[in-house]
């Protein structure tokens, strides 16, 4: 075989490999076609913005949806949580009671509300909080980081929980799947998107916004499009944007 005959197949193989690499979705956002991107000024910042993005397929570019909205995170800022992203070095790590919201990439679970039924336009599975849904934040409980009722739990083994139906800020919300599968004791619990008190007033660890900003975002979410939440301080967003294929 002469040199030209040998080189041609090698070049063709390299071209095919490069094309496949471009076509293959990669990174922790693979499969997602809806994204809520939250950014804050730094690890300690309380105020930030949320921007919605969507794409036609997992191979397409992200496109913004609507205008950014103001949000607040935990009263002491952000810390790396436990989600879909690979472990990260540097920065604080989320733990129970630290007053921080989780940074990283997270699935979005059920929408919830204090109404018996979800608004007709909502597509996410809906959990009516009724008069008995609690979120268990006691790390010693087998139900830690779960939304339960005393009836569904069977044995009440927790000493601390959030009574979801009594809090006006939980009139509407979405469950953020942080510290799940498996749940790590004291790894952080009861993380939601919900209504805020005011700009500058941080939460216990959730991400919150005005009700007129929250409800359109929930109505836009579509479980068939695998919506994800990404939360990062600005410098981490810049650092990870290419590797994670962020907008």
Digit-by-digit pLDDT tens for the chain (247 residues) are 555 454 444 444 444 444 433 445 568 999 999 999 999 999 999 999 999 999 999 999 999 999 999 999 999 999 999 999 999 999 999 999 999 999 999 999 999 999 999 999 999 999 999 889 999 999 999 999 999 999 999 889 999 999 999 999 999 999 999 999 899 999 999 999 999 999 999 999 999 999 999 999 999 999 999 999 999 999 999 999 999 999 9
- The total of other beta-carbon atoms located within 10 Å of residue 117's CB is 9
What is the token pair recorded at 61?
A: 């570019």
* Cα–Cα separations (whole angstroms), residue 75 to 40, 69, 132, 181: 12, 18, 27, 26
The model scores a pTM over 0.85: yes
Strand arrangement of the beta sheet that strand 161-163 belongs to: 147-148, 134-136, 161-163
DSSP assignments along 120-183, one per residue: TT--S-EEE-TTT-EEE--TTSTTTT-EE-HHHHSS---S-EEEGGG-GGGSEEEEEE-S-SSP
Which residues neighbour 222 within 8 Å (Cβ) at sequence distance 6 or greater? 34, 123, 124
């Amino acid at each position: 075989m002469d040199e030209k005959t040998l080189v041609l197949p090698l070049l063709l193989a390299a071209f095919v490999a490069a094309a496949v690499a471009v076509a293959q979705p990669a990174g922790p956002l693979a499969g997602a076609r809806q994204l809520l991107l939250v950014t804050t000024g730094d690890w300690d910042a309380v105020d930030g913005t949320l921007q919605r993005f969507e794409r036609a397929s997992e191979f397409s570019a992200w496109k913004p949806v609507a205008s950014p909205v103001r949000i607040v995170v935990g009263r002491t800022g952000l810390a790396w949580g436990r989600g879909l992203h690979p472990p990260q070095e540097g920065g604080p790590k989320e733990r129970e009671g630290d007053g921080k919201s989780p940074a990283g990439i997270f699935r979005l679970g059920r929408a919830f509300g204090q109404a018996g039924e979800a608004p007709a336009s909502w597509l996410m599975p809906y959990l009516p909080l009724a008069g008995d849904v609690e979120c268990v934040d006691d790390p010693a409980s087998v139900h830690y980081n779960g939304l339960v009722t005393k009836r569904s739990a069977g044995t009440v083994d927790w000493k601390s929980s959030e009574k979801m139906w009594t809090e006006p800020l939980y009139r509407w919300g979405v469950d953020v799947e942080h510290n799940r599968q498996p749940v790590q004791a004291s790894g952080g619990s009861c993380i939601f998107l919900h209504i805020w008190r005011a700009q500058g007033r941080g939460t216990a660890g959730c991400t919150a916004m005005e009700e007129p900003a929250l409800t359109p975002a929930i109505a836009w979410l579509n479980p068939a499009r695998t919506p994800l939440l990404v939360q990062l301080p600005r410098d981490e967003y810049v650092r990870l944007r290419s590797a994670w294929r962020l907008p």
